[in-house]
């Protein structure tokens, strides 16, 4: 079986998933727009034996549907794929690839992390989306709400498999264990964070954008500090990442008098992250909405206690409150403060870590590979047959997505 898989730009977890799928099929990895810079990832190393191609090479090409389709014909068709796996239904390159599959008679698998509660739904938009999804023959998701949403859009429930939201658990587990054996703190915070904070600082990792809820997290952390005093080695907060809100976050830290307690090392590549997971005491993720939140997988695989917003898709699958981690309402500052206190009160070597370790392994590259192979076989058994209205919906979506790319 030959499966091609398309992601817009490869990051470390994309490669981990593809590596898991290589145990089940001959794979072609397709990068839609490797020049994009939403995440400043260093291009990851590809596994040996993996076929690879890209559909665009420079800014502007991702708005040209005809060019993308020509590249699919030139660079993907020679692979003679049996199935093409695509992420979702909104990116223009993905939509063009979905139309190309329909024209070529190639079954398509929808990879999705959209939950049925993510956003307020509008009837017309959902009808158009259903037309797009009518082109998919099968799907792969992870939690129940993702499966329910995809089935509601029209994919046969029996053709939806599990395991999409995977990272390289083994990498984070091994690297964190290695760094725990090294003394001191990561270089980026050494000298700013007292050495005594090793093993007892809060860690968060995300882009500095509104939905990550960092302003409310800082307010909650300020309340946490009021109950504990001013010792800078007593549970400081390290915020990894960067983004448009950095200036506002820095101003809030100063206004709250938290300059000696909150530290911003910036955006880090994946190889640097285990040093933080290994030397932190706990992980907090406070997003007001998050389709999944792969940083939660990373922290749990690194054996770091976690508290996660109940508006994250990962919470539904990975967090059993008080057993594998803690959950909280991200709109309630007192709830976030409560979660911080629960994390700080955990004893060393808590059994919660063993439960979390076992749970996160239910989402792994191997599970993704199994799920994708199952979805591919289901897609080949019963390919989609989109009608004229569905085809019109897809054309409309391609035109709209192209306009959006030009903005």
pLDDT tens track for 205-254: 999 999 999 999 999 999 999 989 889 999 999 999 999 999 999 999 99
DSSP helix/strand/coil, 41: coil
Residues 6+ away with beta carbon under 8 Å from 47: 15, 18, 19, 22
Q: What is the mean pLDDT of the segment spanning 329-345?
A: 97
- Of residues 297 and 35, the one with the higher pLDDT is 297
- Nearest C-alpha neighbor of 264 from the set 248, 282, 241: 241
Q: What is the pLDDT of residues 63-84, one digit of tens each?
A: 899 999 999 999 999 999 999 9
Distance between CA atoms of 192 and 244, rounded to whole angstroms? 24
Same fold, 2-166+364-406 and 169-360: yes
The domain spans of the chain are: 2-166+364-406, 169-360
> Domain 169-360: which CATH class?
alpha beta
* Statement: residue 405 has pLDDT above 80: no
Confidence of residue 284 (pLDDT cuts 50, 70, 90): very high
**pLDDT tens across 366-390, in order?**
999 999 999 999 999 999 999 999 9
Say whether pLDDT at 407 is over 60.
no
Which of 12-26, 98-112, 117-131, 180-194 is predicted least confidently?
Answer: 117-131
Q: Is the pLDDT of residue 346 over 70?
A: yes
Residues 257-272: pLDDT tens digits?
999 999 999 998 888 9
> pLDDT digits over 99-137, tens only?
999 999 999 999 999 998 877 788 888 898 999 999 999
Q: Is residue 90 over pLDDT 90?
A: no
Find the mean pLDDT for residues 148-156: 96
Work out the percent of the chain whose per-residue pLDDT is above 90: 85
Give me the pLDDT at residue 37, please. 66
pLDDT at 167: 96
Tell me what the mean pLDDT of segment 175-202 comes to: 94
pLDDT of residue 348: 86
Among 3.40.50.2000, 3.30.420.40, 3.40.50.1860, 3.30.200.20, what is the CATH number of 2-166+364-406?
Answer: 3.40.50.2000
CB atoms within 10 A of CB 226: 10
| Average pLDDT score over residue span 305-310 | 97
Angle formed by the axes of helices 169-180 and 294-301, nearest 10°: 50
The reported pLDDT for the residue numbered 406 is 63
Q: Is the dihedral of CA 391, 394, 400, 402 positive or negative?
A: negative
pLDDT of residue 170: 96
The answer on pLDDT for 158 being more than 60 is: yes
Query: Cβ(61)–Cβ(36) under 8 Å?
Result: no
* pLDDT tops 60 at residue 204: yes
d(CA 241, CA 267): 4
Report d(CA 290, CA 286) in Å as an integer: 9
Contact 85, 109 (CB under 8 A): yes
Distances (CA, A) of 310 to 102, 330, 345, 369: 38, 7, 21, 28
Higher pLDDT, 405 or 2: 2
* pTM (global) more than 0.85: yes
pLDDT given at position 386: 95
- Measuring CA to CA, which residue among 253, 237, 227, 218 is closest to residue 336? 218
Distance from the first to the final alpha carbon of the chain: 39
Residue 41 confidence (pLDDT) above 80: no
Contact status, residue 190 vs residue 223, Cβ threshold 8 Å: no
């Amino acid at each position: 079986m030959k499966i091609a898989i398309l992601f817009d730009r490869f990051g470390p977890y994309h490669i981990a998933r593809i590596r898991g799928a290589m145990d089940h099929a001959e794979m072609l990895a397709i990068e839609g727009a490797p020049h994009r810079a939403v995440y400043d990832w260093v291009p990851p190393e590809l596994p040996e034996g993996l076929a690879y191609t890209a559909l665009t090479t420079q800014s502007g090409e991702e708005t040209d549907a005809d060019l993308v389709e020509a590249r699919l014909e030139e660079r993907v068709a020679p692979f003679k794929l049996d199935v093409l796996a695509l992420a979702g239904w909104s990116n223009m390159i993905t939509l063009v690839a979905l139309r190309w599959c329909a024209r070529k008679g190639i079954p398509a698998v929808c990879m999705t992390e959209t939950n049925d509660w993510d956003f307020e739904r509008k009837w017309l938009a959902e009808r158009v989306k259903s037309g797009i999804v009518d082109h998919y023959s099968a799907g792969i998701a992870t939690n129940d709400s993702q499966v329910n949403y995809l089935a509601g859009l029209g994919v046969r429930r029996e053709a939806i498999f599990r395991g999409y939201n995977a990272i390289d658990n083994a990498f984070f587990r091994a690297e964190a264990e290695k760094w725990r054996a090294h003394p001191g703190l990561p270089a980026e915070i050494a000298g700013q964070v007292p050495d005594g904070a090793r093993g007892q600082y809060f860690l968060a990792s995300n882009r500095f954008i509104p939905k990550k809820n960092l302003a409310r997290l800082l307010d909650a952390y300020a309340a946490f500090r009021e109950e504990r005093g001013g010792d800078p080695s007593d549970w400081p907060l390290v915020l990894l990442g960067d983004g448009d809100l950095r200036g506002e976050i820095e101003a809030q830290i100063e206004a709250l008098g938290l300059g000696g307690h909150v530290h911003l090392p910036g955006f880090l590549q994946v190889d640097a992250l285990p040093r933080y997971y290994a030397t932190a005491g706990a992980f907090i993720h406070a997003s007001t909405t998050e389709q999944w939140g792969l940083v939660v997988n990373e922290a749990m695989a690194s054996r770091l206690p976690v508290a996660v917003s109940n508006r994250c898709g990962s919470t539904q699958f990975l967090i059993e409150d008080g057993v594998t981690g803690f959950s909280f309402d991200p709109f309630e500052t007192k709830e976030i403060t409560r979660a911080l206190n629960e994390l700080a009160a955990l004893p060393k070597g808590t059994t919660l870590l063993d439960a979390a370790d076992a749970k996160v392994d239910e989402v792994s590259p191997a599970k993704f590979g199994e799920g994708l192979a199952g979805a591919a076989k289901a897609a080949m058994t019963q390919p989609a047959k989109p009608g004229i209205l569905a085809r019109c919906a897809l054309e409309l979506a391609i035109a709209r997505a192209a306009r959006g790319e030009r903005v």
